[in-house]
Amino acid sequence: MRGGPSGDIVCTHLCILRPKYQTTISMFNFLKKDPTSKLQKKYNALLEKAMNAQRSGDIKLYARLTAESEEIWKEIEKLKSI
């Protein structure tokens, strides 16, 4: 282990240990998929369907789709806070 330019500790396993935050940033994090991306696409699709339902006058469908999208948004927020 040796000190990096910003005071971080760089280990021989190609990761950065930040003592301030106690997190490890791996070199291969770019290979992991964002867990919220799939939910975000579903959320956007539901909002678009809800908008089209509202424009066509189907308020019950609009309300149901909006409620579903709000539940997905709560899941996204929960995943982002982890």
Count of structural domains, the chain: 2
Domain that holds residue 77: 35-81
**Tens digits of per-residue pLDDT, 28-42?**
666 777 788 999 999
> Are residue 41 and residue 56 in the same domain, yes or no?
yes
Contact 17/57 with Cβ under 8 angstroms? Answer: no
Where are the extended beta strands (E) located within the chain? 2-3, 9-10, 15-18, 23-26
Decide if 41 contacts 75 (C-beta within 8 A).
no
**Residues of the chain above pLDDT 70, percent:** 62
Cβ–Cβ under 8 Å, residues 15 and 24? yes
Residues 26 and 42 in one domain: no
Residues whose CB is less than 8 angstroms from the CB of residue 62 and which lie 6 or more positions away in sequence, other chains included = 50, 53, 54
* pLDDT at site 15: 42
